[in-house]
Amino acid sequence: MVVANNAIRLREIQAAVIADQGAFRNINSVSLATIDRVLKRNHVRMKQLYRVPFQRNSDIVKEARFQYVQRIMELEAEGAHHKFIFVDEAGFNLCKVRRRGRNIIGQRATVTVPGQRGANITMCAAISNDGVLCHIPTIGPYNTERLITFLDALKDLLIPPEERGLLRPGMTLYVIIWDNVAFHHSRLVNEWFAAQPRIMIQFLPAYLPFLNPIEEFFSAWRWKVYDHRPYEQMPLLEAMNAGCLTIGAEDCQGWIRHARRYFPRCIAGKTFNATLMRTCGIIVKNEWTKCER
């Protein structure tokens, strides 16, 4: 009962036990204390409940997972060399600090933060097996115009000036993989990709953060920004850039390998169960998962 319904209460278990004369024959009464003791004996404890979108394991989403993985495998099997680049945006604010600390028993653990919240700073970043390719922070949220500026900078880093606008055999093709945020589908963004013969776009299906290794990049990056203590030692923008510089190609390769471990499970159409993924600085209720049959 508990496995089927994590939100079930002791009184509901009590009523179900008394009502089920098949599995619990001749049990006409049972105390809540007994039920609690039996649950603890079987390693069942109270936990915080996290909301899980019911659509995550729908047939449509499972099919989208399958199609995404199938598309990636097809690109890898083609004659032309494809390089996969993961792009995403993440916000940062000086008021965000570590949520847990240490102090003497009986004394509150505190941390110094600015008196005023200040503006959010958003950074757009791109990673691949070569490491962090590009990162551009900006005050406020990202929008279509700022995204185009980022894509132009990324293109300049990927393609030499003499090769721009050309598509010849043997040239590397670049695949930008990102999520389905609204401005990723804007007309200007689509026109930008249409004008790039060597850069294509691939959207991640919904509810698939565990297939996006840049989520782990931002998780590690946020802790590195905290370690620079930007509100005391350096401006926030400098701390954000310094945090990126400490993340190497080996880190990115590990995150990409970890994401690809889920490919066979997506191909098999398995169900993913949500657990809590802490993404440095803030708690992100991503579907970072283990899977069951």
The string of DSSP letters for 165-210 reads: T---TTPPEEEEEE---GGGG-HHHHHHHHT-TTEEEEEPPTT-GG
Least confident of 111-125, 139-153, 188-202: 111-125
- Please compute the mean of the pLDDT values over residues 12-31 and round it to a whole number: 84
In whole angstroms, what is the distance from residue 284 CA to residue 280 CA?
9
Confidence category of residue 248, pLDDT binned at 50, 70, 90: very high
- For residue 150, what pLDDT is reported? 96
Residue 275 pLDDT greater than 60, yes or no: no
pLDDT tens figures, 182-199: 999 999 999 999 999 999
- For residue 18, what pLDDT is reported? 85
Q: Which class for 76: exposed (0-12), middle (13-18), buried (19 or more C-beta within 10 A)?
A: exposed
Confidence category of residue 26, pLDDT binned at 50, 70, 90: confident
Confidence category of residue 253, pLDDT binned at 50, 70, 90: very high
Least confident of 29-33, 155-159, 164-168, 175-179: 164-168
Classify domain 56-292 by CATH architecture.
2-Layer Sandwich (3.30)
Residue 141 pLDDT greater than 60, yes or no: yes
Confidence category of residue 236, pLDDT binned at 50, 70, 90: confident
The residue with tokens 């990723």 is 184
Least confident of 46-50, 69-73, 139-143: 46-50
Confidence category of residue 225, pLDDT binned at 50, 70, 90: confident
- For residue 138, what pLDDT is reported? 87
Average pLDDT of every residue of the chain? 82
Confidence category of residue 110, pLDDT binned at 50, 70, 90: confident
Helix then strand then coil, % of the chain, to nearest 5: 40, 20, 40
- Minimal CA–CA distance to 61: which of 267, 273, 207? 207
Residue 288 pLDDT greater than 80, yes or no: no
Of 53-57, 102-106, 147-151, 208-212, highest mean pLDDT: 147-151
Greater model confidence, 272 or 215? 215
Note whether 127 and 252 are within 8 A (CB): yes
Per-domain residue ranges of the chain: 1-49, 56-292
Confidence category of residue 6, pLDDT binned at 50, 70, 90: confident
